[in-house]
């Protein structure tokens, strides 16, 4: 089972080496790394060329934003399974992709997801937020539940059937896409009860107060668009994050 890992990046030199190392350490034998660079002006391309995965497909050209870059990467991917791994993230253990492949041996599911740790930008061993996703239920969507997007791996057929990411979103295109996959797309998900990805704090969604306001507006737009609730769903989605800061390891 070939797994395509898509990376959308621009000027990611500070965190890229750790991500690349986590990908190269995977023990699943058939991995393709599709890198869509947005025209980096720092050392990103040099790092990719020197430290990149042995099966890397790199393309660098301007794009209109992260979701445009992701869509271009997915369009170039040749794997049976497609997931995302960006410069600020790293796979939590060498067997993550092996778990993905084993779970998707089951023809009754279309994709898998797992748990996620948000870690300090300066020390990946310092867990700030521990997100235990739990098994999927459609009833959870109205309570603001979503699978941790960086841990999501889907069969290629899902994108062919349900479409790619909506580039009119700047921050919440992942939430919009997941709601579309789970509602209109009727995607069947399996849950891997392990931390699959470590994600560095300080991403675009919480970089500033203005970004948080924009994210909330885009989240609400996605909620209404896919008919999974209303303002209460947005409130619940944000409140559900609070327990993730408690009891972390």
Nearest to 196 by CA among 130, 87, 116, 100: 116
- Tokens for 197, please give them: 């990805």
CB of 200 closer than 8 Å to CB of 127: no
Please state, in angstroms and rounded to a whole number, the distance separating the CA atoms of residues 162 and 178.
10
Tens-place pLDDT, residues 93-104: 999 999 999 999
Question: What pTM value is reported for the model?
Answer: 0.94
The enclosing H or E element of 5 equals strand 3-9
- Of 65, 88, 91, 117, the closest CA to residue 5 belongs to 91
Cβ-Cβ contacts under 8 Å for 219 (sequence gap 6 or more)? 172, 175, 234, 237
Contact 85, 150 (CB under 8 A): yes
Distance between CA 7 and CA 40 in Å, rounded?
13
State pLDDT tens for residues 18-52: 999 999 999 999 999 999 999 999 999 999 999 99
pLDDT digits (tens, 9 = 90+) for 163-199: 999 999 999 999 999 999 999 999 999 999 999 999 9
* Architecture of the structural domain at 3-245: Alpha-Beta Complex (3.90)
> What would the two tokens of residue 93 be?
């253990």
Residue spans per domain, the chain: 3-245
Strand 56-60 to 31-37 pairing: parallel
């Amino acid at each position: 089972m070939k797994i395509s890992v898509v990376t959308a990046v621009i000027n990611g030199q500070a965190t890229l080496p750790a991500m690349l190392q986590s990908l190269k350490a995977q023990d699943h034998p058939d991995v393709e790394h599709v890198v869509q660079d947005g025209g980096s002006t720092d050392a990103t391309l040099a790092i990719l060329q020197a430290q990149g995965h042995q099966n890397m497909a790199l393309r660098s050209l301007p794009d209109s934003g992260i979701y445009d870059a992701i869509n271009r990467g997915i369009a170039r991917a040749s794997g049976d399974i497609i997931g995302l791994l960006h410069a600020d993230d790293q796979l939590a253990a060498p067997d993550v992709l092996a778990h993905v492949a084993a779970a998707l041996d089951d023809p009754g599911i279309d994709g898998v997801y797992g748990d996620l740790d948000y870690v300090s930008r300066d020390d990946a061993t310092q867990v700030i937020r521990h997100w235990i996703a739990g098994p999927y239920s459609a009833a959870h969507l109205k309570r603001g539940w979503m699978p941790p997007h960086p841990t999501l791996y889907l069969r290629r057929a899902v994108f062919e059937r349900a479409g790619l990411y909506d580039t009119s979103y700047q921050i919440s295109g992942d939430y919009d896409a997941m709601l579309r996959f789970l509602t209109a797309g009727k995607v069947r998900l399996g849950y891997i009860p392990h931390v699959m990805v470590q994600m560095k704090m300080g991403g675009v969604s919480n970089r500033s107060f203005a970004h948080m306001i924009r994210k909330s507006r885009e989240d609400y737009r996605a909620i209404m668009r896919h008919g999974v609730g209303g303002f209460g769903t947005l409130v619940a989605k944000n409140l559900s994050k609070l327990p993730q800061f408690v009891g972390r390891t």
